[in-house]
Amino acid sequence: MATLKRRTDRGNRWEVRYRDPSGKQRARLFDRRVDAEQFVTSTEHSKLTGAYLDPVLGRMTLALRG
C-alpha cells in the first residue's frame, strides 16, 4: 500500500511513497493532492493486474541494429 504525505520542506507538495512489485521503495511528488491520489490508485491497480511498468525502464532508449 502507498502512503501520502504533505511535504512542506519540498515546496508544500504531496509525496507518494510506494513499493514496486519487486519490493523496491519509490517516491514521487505532486503539486495537488487529487493528482497524488489518482497516481496511487492507478499504480495499485497496475500492480494488481500485472500491468505495472518500471518508470526507470520506461525512460530507456533502445537502439536498433541494422
Q: Which of 47, 41, 45, 39 is nearest to 15 (CA)?
A: 39
Rounded CA separation 31/6 (Å)? 10
DSSP 26-53: EEEEESSHHHHHHHHHHHHHHHHHT---
Residue 54 and residue 20 in contact, taking contact as beta carbons nearer than 8 Å: yes
The pTM is what? 0.80
Q: Which pLDDT belongs to residue 12?
A: 93
pLDDT in tens, the chain (66 residues): 899 999 999 899 999 999 999 999 999 999 999 999 999 999 999 999 999 988 887 787 877 786
Q: Residue 64 gets which letter from DSSP?
A: P
Q: Which pLDDT belongs to residue 7?
A: 95
Q: Which pLDDT belongs to residue 58?
A: 76
Grid cell for residue 24: 523496491
Q: Which pLDDT belongs to residue 19?
A: 94
**Would you list the domain boundaries of the chain?**
3-58
